[in-house]
Structure 1
Amino acid sequence: MLVFSWSLVVLLLVSSSWAEADVAVTEEDRSSELSVGELLERANRHRTPDFDEPPLIGGDIAIKPEGDRNADPCTARGCKWLKNTDGKVYIPYYIANHYSTRERDIIVRGLQSFSSVSCIRFRPYQNGDREWLSIESRNGCYSYVGRQGGGQTVSLSRQGCLYHGTVQHELLHALGFNHEQTRSDRDNHIKVHWNNIIDGMDYNFYKIDTLNQGTAYDYNSVMQYERYAFSKNNLPTMEPIPNSNVSFGKATQMSKNDIDRLNRLYQC
């Protein structure tokens, strides 16, 4: 009887572990079906920042408290990382040690994805580096736009931010890019339904003088949020024009246009 009881306990524990694993896999599978914009909005929806964290605009763009919410730092003062004499742009990074091996691998894969399509080379931080990306699990997913000087935080929270596309999205912010729906030519491609936006969130849709680099508006950009972003009533906040049925905001990784404008900005 004792043997039977212990066998039953072991069976129940194993079954419970399998059930938990199934739930985890199911949750991950569901997340992998979401676009980058959906993942970011979900991760930041109930964000409660610590006292030392920056305010955010656009859902995930960090700004300094005294910063102008409507100005693009890349056109206002310049924000590009410096190019080396060999034509490459080496950007030091430091990954905080609170990530698991698997989580770190996701981040590193995102960093390395730039080297095969551009002259951007992310490399580990070294003593003496004066500016670098400090990748940390803070509250939510966010990044400053462009090079800030010194160590600048890229937050990739362990709760909801560790996906290949979200890593690329935040790194593109750090490289100098804003969201597609805030492009200066947005109104030619996207109609914003202001009445459907969460109260106080309308600034997420303000146009700014962005660095379009002569590229076309891209509905498939990893920087384009989806149709219901920041909706207060489950009605669309954005729709494409002139064809409202065009799919947009579904990207799970950088598009060809994202890569083209990156290479144009850094003259790769």
Structure 2
Amino acid sequence: MSIRIFLGLLTFLFCKGNVIPGQDPKNVPNLFNLPGMLVNNRSDIVLMEGDIALSKHTDRTAYIQSPKWPNGIVPIEFDGAFTEEQKNVIIGAMTTISQNTNDCIRFVWRNNNPAWLRIHSGQGCWSYMGKTVSSGQQDLSLQIPGCVHHSVALHEFLHALGFAHEHTRPDRDTYVRVYYENIEPSQTFAFDKFPSNQVNTFNQAYDYGSIMHYRNDAFSINGRPTVKPILAGYENWESYMGRGDKMSAQDIQKLKTYYGCP
């Protein structure tokens, strides 16, 4: 059975919250404050901004130039750690992306494809940015159990498709204030902006509702906000940032624009 057909058969599983039984769909997990989730013990990578993997020999700016997956087709495989129930949650995130791009972006089984995305339960929730290998496997980690959630999987798949965090936009200071005094000292780099010549905003306005936005308390050292909206009329978005369980309309439009979808 092809993954495309499999995704269609699973769609009905994901209309009531997209969570494993026992998880409260009202409590979308904080990707950046999951106990034990962001420790990286691998010797060959570093985690930038908490969940973006880079080779230890790669400059921070290099990932923004990572190529797209050709023709929007992403070959995938699961490692053996996931139960069928957990796979269904992750596949639900892939279904969401495919459906919202009218199958312009598709996830297929690895089969004989020379390069593929290996979804595994590693140390934390993280992904490389865009397609970083010409052959062999590219890892995406969804650690069991905390990372196996629809919204977390969506976030990491969008990284794998080539997207950065919304708050790293070069124009972000017009829309949010970052409270460095409340950030874990070792994580202040996660709030660095990209220069305008290194990131593409696709002519979209700043998106407080993006699945790629940090929560207001991401990497907080004291429980106080680390990032807050400052644009007039959007102050109430503070409690919603980074807590959504679906892609925003702008997330979808950016995906379509980037991959040349009709």
TM-score normalised according to structure 2 size: 0.82
Please give the residue correspondences for 1:108-119 in structure 2 after superposition, counting only pairs within 5 Å: 108-118=91-101, 119=104
Please give the residue correspondences for 1:1-268 in structure 2 after superposition, counting only pairs within 5 Å: 28-29=23-24, 32-35=25-28, 38=30, 40-43=31-34, 45=36, 47-52=38-43, 54-69=45-60, 71=61, 73-74=63-64, 77-83=65-71, 89-118=72-101, 119-127=104-112, 129-149=113-133, 150=135, 151-208=137-194, 209-243=198-232, 245-247=235-237, 248-268=241-261
The secondary structure found in structure 1 opposite 2:99 is: coil
The secondary structure found in structure 1 opposite 2:214 is: coil
Aligned counterparts of 1:144 and 1:157: Cα–Cα separation in 2: 15
Bigger mean CA deviation after superposition, 164-173 or 233-242: 233-242
Pair 1:72–1:262, CA change in 2 (3 A):
farther
Match in the other structure for 2:14: none
Bigger mean CA deviation after superposition, 238-247 or 221-230: 238-247
Q: For each residue in 1:3-31, what CA deviation from the matched residue of structure 2 results, as whole angstroms up to 9, or x when unmatched?
A: xxxxxxxxxxxxxxxxxxxxx96x612xx
Identity of aligned residues (%): 33
Aligned counterparts of 1:93 and 1:57: Cα–Cα separation in 2: 23
- Unpaired runs of 5+ residues, structure 1, are 1-23, 84-88
Could you tell me whether the CA contact under 8 Å between 1:107 and 1:167 is conserved in 2?
Answer: yes
The secondary structure found in structure 1 opposite 2:244 is: coil
Could you tell me whether the CA contact under 8 Å between 1:42 and 1:160 is conserved in 2?
Answer: no
Could you tell me whether the CA contact under 8 Å between 1:227 and 1:239 is conserved in 2?
Answer: yes
Pair 1:44–1:264, CA change in 2 (3 A):
farther
Aligned residues: 231
Pair 1:121–1:46, CA change in 2 (3 A):
closer
TM-score normalised according to structure 1 size: 0.81
Aligned counterparts of 1:133 and 1:213: Cα–Cα separation in 2: 25
Aligned counterparts of 1:204 and 1:164: Cα–Cα separation in 2: 23
Aligned counterparts of 1:116 and 1:252: Cα–Cα separation in 2: 15
The secondary structure found in structure 2 opposite 1:43 is: coil
Could you tell me whether the CA contact under 8 Å between 2:37 and 2:143 is conserved in 1?
Answer: no
Match in the other structure for 1:14: none
**1:159 Cα deviation from its structure 2 partner:** 2.3
Aligned counterparts of 1:72 and 1:214: Cα–Cα separation in 2: 22
**1:43 Cα deviation from its structure 2 partner:** 3.0
Task: Write the letter of the residue equivalent to 1:193.
Answer: Y
Pair 1:181–1:60, CA change in 2 (3 A):
same
**1:112 Cα deviation from its structure 2 partner:** 1.9
The secondary structure found in structure 1 opposite 2:205 is: coil
Q: For each residue in 1:162-200, what CA deviation from the matched residue of structure 2 results, as whole angstroms up to 9, or x when unmatched?
A: 111111110000000011111111111111111111112
What is the RMSD of the two structures over their aligned residues, measured on CA atoms?
A: 1.9
Task: Write the letter of the residue equivalent to 1:256.
Answer: A
**1:44 Cα deviation from its structure 2 partner:** 6.0
Aligned counterparts of 1:45 and 1:236: Cα–Cα separation in 2: 21
Give 4+ residue runs of structure 1 displaced > 6 Å after superposition: none
Task: Write the letter of the residue equivalent to 1:28.
Answer: Q
